[in-house]
A and B are shown apart, each in its own frame.
Chain A
Amino acid sequence: MSVLWKNMTNFSFLPKYLSYFKNGTICTLVIAVLSVFAAVLPALMLALMRLSKNKVLKNLSGAYIALFRSTPVLVQLYIVYFGPFAVINLPSYKLFGFIDVSMLIPGIVALALNSSAYVAEIIRGGILAVDQGQTEAARSLGLTQAQTMRYVVLPQAVKNIIPTLANELVTMVKESSVIGYLGCQDLMWGTRTTVGATFIPLAPYIFAAAIYFAINYPAGKAIECLERRMRRGDVR
């Protein structure tokens, strides 16, 4: 018992390795935010395809969503990295001086492809939640289907989408830890490296968990608050 306690609280690595955690946290946040942002447009396209009457578009989008939701993100990451990015030459530029772009970009692409499958469903749900009467009113005025989507349905769907999208961001902060497998220096990579270098087996992970928690818990609470506020202002 006392060994466990000792392992848990041995933070002697901190003075020397704190920068790994600091840079790792920045890297993780950059990846999470960019991945989710990059996912929004493809996801919107997937959602609209999924909702269209055209069977080909509908099934294409359905297949994409099914594929990316039914396979592990780590597998997708490797396929993207060793597939397309084996032939694409990326510059070896270091963002903020420590995030290697040649690993960051494949990582973001893979995570965004994965996330777009989930975000597509979020957007589709948000669109379907808009009262059918809104579409009917717009179409009865002579607006085309596309104009109805753009001016009437989507602006209202955004209200339903934003909170869920923010939740996807929280998920991504956690899920993005797979990117360390490419050697990208995110928070989990920094943690593993610290463990390997110091032979302190537990405390670095505890410290990393604390950082993830400190980011995601308040973020989740803020989203709940936002959700409540948005729902309050929602009447036909």
Chain B
Amino acid sequence: MATSGNLIEVRHVTKRFGKNKNIVALNDCSLSIKKGEVVVIVGPSGSGKSTMLRTLNLLEIPTEGEVVFEGVNIADKNVDINKHRQKMGMVFQHFNLFPHMTVMQNLTLAPVKVKGMDEKAAEEMGLRLLDKVGLKDRASAYPIQLSGGQKQRIAIVRALCMEPDVMLFDEPTSALDPEMVGEVLEVMRDLAKEGMTMVVVTHEMGFAREVGSRVIFMDAGKILEDKAPSDFFSNPENPRLKEFLSKVL
């Protein structure tokens, strides 16, 4: 099963929440993601987009099914999940920068503590990546001193400092003032151009259309559509997707 050419394979994953396991957030979802693909997930609120994304790096543990990453079923209890998470960067809606640390400390914490990287080397890498997103001069600032757009760019760099094989984004621009959305999307666009494998939950349909290799539509815990963006937007088949697109476009 190892070499199917897929970086990530989600196999029949179901996720239930609640005391009686009666909230079904994911209902028998399967999905494969190839190296270099940019997969965009869209859908109405509560449809299970975040849960799907968080299942990919086991922030949510599937109730049933497998998540195979680089040939290993990481949903298996005996797997050292910390080892695999190093290879999967994640960016959150609310940035989740560490407020008690400077930007540079935010960037170097994981490379130094998790990978055992030399402090100097980690800082050099941090500076290089900060420069790429135009924030080299903010290395010694604290998160509270940054704008939302700056925070999110730093959060992206923090994930990149672990040199991940895939980047997961959960509505990275939803908490931003409109004038800051562009600067974050630009960083993501550049990342896609460099060939980074990305899974992006977003409401930015423009980004989905231009940058996505595939767009996935979720509703009520199910994947209802999975297509190339041109098809997705011009020939939607599923009636729920048609309805959704008529509202957001």
Contacts and interface: CB of A to CB of B under 8 A. Distances in A.
Nearest to B109: A151
A147 B59 contact: no
A140 B98 contact: no
Interface stretch (B62-70, B82-90, B201-209, B210-218): B82-90
Contacts of A226: none
Interface residues of B, number: 29
Contacts of B83: 142
A139 B90 CA distance: 10
B94 A236 contact: yes
A208 B98 CA distance: 47
B97 interface: yes
Contacts of A131: 96
A151 B113 contact: yes
A152 B89 contact: no
Contact of B114 (A142, A234, A235): A142
Nearest to A132: B96
Given A152-B98, A156-B98, A235-B144, 9 more contacts: A137-B92, A139-B59, A140-B57, A140-B85, A140-B159, A143-B82, A143-B113, A147-B114, A236-B96
A136 B92 contact: yes
Interface in B151-186: 155, 158-159, 162, 168
Contacts, number: 72
B98 A147 contact: no
B144 A142 contact: no
Contact of A142 (B94, B110, B168): B110
A235 B145 CA distance: 10
A233 B145 CA distance: 11
Interface in B97-126: 97-100, 109-110, 113-115
B159 A134 contact: no
A152 B95 CA distance: 15
A133 interface: yes
Contacts of B168: 140
A131 to B, nearest CB: 8
B143 interface: yes
Given A140-B59, A151-B109, A236 B99 contact: yes
A143 B110 contact: yes
A142 B115 CA distance: 9
Interface in A204-232: none
A147 B86 CA distance: 14
Contact of B89 (A134, A139, A140): A140
Contact of B88 (A133, A136, A140): A140
B117 to A, nearest CB: 12
Contacts of B159: 140-141
A134, A140, A144, A233 interface centre (most CB from chain B within 10 Å) = A140
Nearest to B54: A136
A183 interface: no
A190 B95 CA distance: 58
A235 B97 CA distance: 10
A141 B109 contact: yes
Interface in B198-246: none
A105 B95 CA distance: 49
A141 B143 contact: no
A73 to B, nearest CB: 35
A139 B92 CA distance: 13
Interface in A135-159: 136-144, 147, 151-152, 155-156
B59 A136 contact: yes
Contacts of B82: 139, 142-144
Contacts of A236: 94-97, 99, 143
Interface in B119-144: 143-144
